[in-house]
Structure 1
Amino acid sequence: MTALYDRNSQARPNASPIPSGVPQKLSVVSPGVTSSEPVLAWLEQVLQERFGLPLLLERDGPERLYLRHAEAPGHILFDRLQPGFYLAGVDLPHCQWEATEEGFDAPLDLPLPAPGAASLPRPLVEPAAGGLTIHYDILGLTYWMLSRVEEVDAQVLDRHCRFPASASHAGRHGYLERPVVDEWLAVLGQVIRRQWPQAQLRQHEFTLRPSHDVDRPSRYGFARDVKLARVMLGDALLHRRPQALLVGPWVRLCTRRRLHPLDPLNTFDWLMDVSERHGLTSAFYFICGRTDPRKDADYEPEHPAMRHLMRRIHERGHEVGLHPSYHTFRNPKELANEAERLRRVCAEEGIEQAQWGGRMHYLRWQMPLTLQGYEQAGLDYDTTLSYAEAPGFRCGTCFDYPAFDPVKGEPLALRIRPLIAMEASVISPLYLGLGTGEEAFKRFSMLKARCRAVGGTFTLLWHNSELTTSAQRELYERVLSD
């Protein structure tokens, strides 16, 4: 038996996470003697976090991967590895598996999507010498979804240079609204219990994580004269709020030390009040650069009103984070500069946090360059990964997990917090266009329920600037209360 990953020896020349015969020029994980070691070490970490057990991975030949328990005999064998899970630019097949027909619990009471397989044998799990065999590459699927291999060198991009949901395998095959990795790991957990009945698997509890990108903290406070006049006239004529002609100049004049309470976009205390009523902590992500004046914010983090806002957020026990500016998703150096700027301002205001994270402006993301920017910036986590055009499980999971660079083939210190839903994705006519009524609530509620079913985290993005109407506020409170 040849170990794919052995902590007490160097990787062997034939050790590879990809079955033999695969054209290596398409391999995302860098080919070579040691390329397999970090992949399996990373997968072991993912399994350790999910199940709380000392699980080890080793390989026997090009198509067999063993899962072992460090403190118990026996094994679980994966005997149908899918090389496409480790390649970029491959159109994988897809089928479904009826878990309940074979005696397993399906977390969502639905057939499980099975990317990478054109068909699956029956039974999918069966006894073998020394353990159990699973005839589907659950671990390959986990790597493929979490590392976002399919986004490497993506050829289809939208007008903001984003990889769209419509181009994704999940979008094309109808499982974007399924936490497919979590569903399959739940099945793997049941197999683990069958193989090692004495093992105590880690139990996870559902959590809700509200977050807010601060694109526009004020409607009138930071606008220059021409823009201020344009905004006031638009509010008065188009939105039928003639009071804006009086409120606008007054708010602009008074926004010197703090945001004015009459400013319609100053919803920060209301957001914190709602979170605190539900025992939640909100995260607020601030723009600290201007790489595109048309797309980025009109405020500076050093402004006294913004300093006051960040202090207030911190004093109330909520989180301050970074919202990197428009072009930083391809500019690691500038992303790092903006992170340093935020930390400096926070240090000057006495804001200390155990961790610092962020979310990319416009949800722009390029794999793996944006990951590398976060690493260079020394940030602890990112919570960008959702599609703007449609909510759901871009990474196939609603659990935090360690990031992995699929091009360099190495794990990163960065953590990924998958974003499940942005309010605009559901409400805006640019995307699903469901408005603020019952249909929108049902969509949010369904996604939240699926996170709850697998014991994960429902991470929600709701901009402070999208709470100016009673309908918007009512919907937000319903989503948190549901």
Structure 2
Amino acid sequence: MQSAWPNQSIFSWLQQVLAERFGHTFSISSTESDTLWLSYQESPVQILLSIDPISFNKANSDLPFTTWDATGDGWASLLDRPLPAPGASTLSSPLIEPIQNGYRINYDILGLTYWMLSRLEETNRTNLDTHQRFAATSSHAFKHGYLERPVVDEWLGILGQVIQKAWPNLQLKQQQSGMKVSHDVDMPSQYGFRSPVGIARGMVADALKRRNFKGVFLAPWIRFNSQTSLHPADPANTFNWIMDVSERYGLVSAFYFICGRTDRAKDADYEPEHPAIRALMHDIHRRGHEIGLHPSYNSFQNPQQIQAEAQRLRRTCEEENIRQTVWGGRMHYLRWEHPTTMRAWDAAGLTYDSTLGYADYVGFRCGTCHEYPAYDLVEGKQLNLRIRPLIAMESTVTAPHYMGLGVGEAALKKFQDLKETCLAVGGCFTLLWHNSQFDSEAERELYKAVVSYKQTPLPCQSNS
């Protein structure tokens, strides 16, 4: 690993992160082994920040931990609670103190930002789940109870207050909070693309497992009548309903399509070139929604495969006269090897990735609900790719093998709490809800309640 906290390439990247957050370019430099200097243009005023090069260079989850009562020290906590302080076992008091020509912050806010956003914690880890994913339960945030706290956003909120004290005439950027909804298209049709054996199995499952006898009779009919478009009676064909809901609340839905098959059991049974899928993509684009990529199951360690699938999606869209300025998406099963997968997205020329959330628990895997530029901590350079953190996936909350909250009030409260947290820090509540996860009226009502809770602001702004 070439990069280590701190160094100049990280400073350049963090300057970009701060510029996007505050709307101004600050210089970051280090002239002492234990201190960073934050300065603005020619002003003699500076903010000094302590450096913790030991904790924030760890590619593991063994950092010390404490909390800080911002209110007790005369500062405002964005969430009105003590702030989690990874990397520290104790903190000095006062944590922030005036000095000649500026302020000193006795906690490594920028080191924390680097450690969380770069995902150094999960680099080269071997304690992975059955899908070779770094699980939430392995993370420092889960172990210390702050996974549902956007810890980077909270500490940058503190830094913003110090900046305002240091340069009172500086107008900081007001972040536009909001919501983004996306839908991984694992199964666009429950029956339309199945083989005869698959149809038979589906019919048996409908009868014996789901007690859906209507589905038993519909399956062959839907399969036969899905040659040019998805059948309106297909249970997985919820696309128009999803777009109707999004349009009702001023949202743009992003639909991510699988364009490869590296595991026949786990990948999709459709091809993006199929006339019915082409018609679906055309309809999504016509209505002003977004099309994106959902790379196949075993592509997460294979940059060439991701590039080939991205090219296939673009080629299919171009043949349908579908043109977009932004191309993003999410990995299938949220499989991610850091930084291999991220590099592959960047090499494929994709605009953003929205994989980085956990499958087993909701929350802030990257410590933020703000989109940010990707940083390759092995090569020590900023990438063109944007990271759009995933805050919640529907099955993470509802499924018995994950959090198991079902589709009632407990699930709604969890989604609402996360959404309120994102709004409180001026961030974006990024929600994944599969098009095939609307089997019941309760699921539909839960989804509508989540996206309509209180007054949903405009979709989050992007710095892409």
Where on the TM-score scale, by shorter chain, does this alignment land: which range? Answer: over 0.9
The answer to whether the Cα contact below 8 Å between 2:61 and 2:139 also exists between their aligned partners in 1 is no
Residue segments in structure 1 that go unaligned for 5+ positions in a row: 1-27
Matched residue, 2:419? 448
The answer to whether the Cα contact below 8 Å between 1:125 and 1:132 also exists between their aligned partners in 2 is yes
CA distance in 1, matches of 2:42, 2:271: 55
Shift of 1:309: 0.2
Deviations 1:43-94 (A, max 9, x none): 0000000001121101112111000011433100013434321232361100
CA distance in 1, matches of 2:7, 2:368: 23
CA distance in 2, matches of 1:331, 1:293: 17
**Could you tell me which of 123, 145, 163 is aligned with 2:116?**
145
CA distance in 2, matches of 1:54, 1:214: 40
Shift of 1:188: 0.4
CA distance in 2, matches of 1:89, 1:455: 29
Shift of 1:372: 1.1
The answer to whether the Cα contact below 8 Å between 1:79 and 1:135 also exists between their aligned partners in 2 is yes
Paired residue secondary structure (2:360): coil
Q: How does 1:112-127 map to 2 (within 5 A)?
A: 112-127=83-98
Look up the equivalent residue of 2:157 and give its one-letter code: A
Tell me whether 275-284 or 234-243 shows the greater mean CA deviation. 234-243
Alignment coverage as a number of residue pairs: 453
**Could you tell me which of 107, 129, 136 is aligned with 1:165?**
136
Matched residue, 1:3? none
Matched residue, 1:99? 70
The answer to whether the Cα contact below 8 Å between 1:405 and 1:411 also exists between their aligned partners in 2 is yes
Matched residue, 1:467? 438
Distance 1:250 1:148, change over 3 A: same
Residue segments in structure 2 that go unaligned for 5+ positions in a row: 454-464
Look up the equivalent residue of 1:380 and give its one-letter code: T
Paired residue secondary structure (1:247): helix
Deviations 1:101-138 (A, max 9, x none): 01111111111000000110110000112210000000
2:287 is the counterpart of 1:350: no
Matched residue, 2:82? 111
Matched residue, 1:49? 20
Matched residue, 1:263? 234
Tell me whether 120-129 or 313-322 shows the greater mean CA deviation. 120-129
Paired residue secondary structure (2:165): helix
The answer to whether the Cα contact below 8 Å between 1:333 and 1:376 also exists between their aligned partners in 2 is no
Matched residue, 2:310? 339
**Could you tell me which of 288, 294, 297 is aligned with 1:323?**
294
Look up the equivalent residue of 1:63 and give its one-letter code: D
Matched residue, 1:203? 174
CA distance in 2, matches of 1:246, 1:313: 29
Paired residue secondary structure (2:59): coil
Paired residue secondary structure (2:291): strand
CA distance in 1, matches of 2:426, 2:118: 21
Percent same amino acid at aligned positions?
A: 56
Matched residue, 1:37? 8
CA distance in 2, matches of 1:104, 1:346: 51
The answer to whether the Cα contact below 8 Å between 2:357 and 2:365 also exists between their aligned partners in 1 is yes
CA distance in 1, matches of 2:322, 2:110: 41
CA distance in 1, matches of 2:25, 2:231: 54
CA distance in 1, matches of 2:407, 2:42: 53
Matched residue, 2:272? 301
Look up the equivalent residue of 2:224 and give its one-letter code: L
CA distance in 2, matches of 1:434, 1:380: 34
Q: How does 1:319-468 map to 2 (within 5 A)?
A: 319-468=290-439
Tell me whether 370-379 or 318-327 shows the greater mean CA deviation. 370-379
Matched residue, 1:239? 210
The answer to whether the Cα contact below 8 Å between 2:61 and 2:138 also exists between their aligned partners in 1 is no
Paired residue secondary structure (2:343): helix
Matched residue, 1:10? none
Deviations 1:217-264 (A, max 9, x none): 000000100110110121122211111222101100000000000000
CA distance in 1, matches of 2:296, 2:51: 43
CA distance in 2, matches of 1:164, 1:91: 15
CA distance in 1, matches of 2:77, 2:298: 42
Distance 1:31 1:79, change over 3 A: closer
CA distance in 1, matches of 2:176, 2:329: 24
The answer to whether the Cα contact below 8 Å between 1:217 and 1:464 also exists between their aligned partners in 2 is yes
The answer to whether the Cα contact below 8 Å between 1:29 and 1:86 also exists between their aligned partners in 2 is no
* TM-score, structure 1 normalization: 0.93
CA distance in 2, matches of 1:283, 1:86: 36
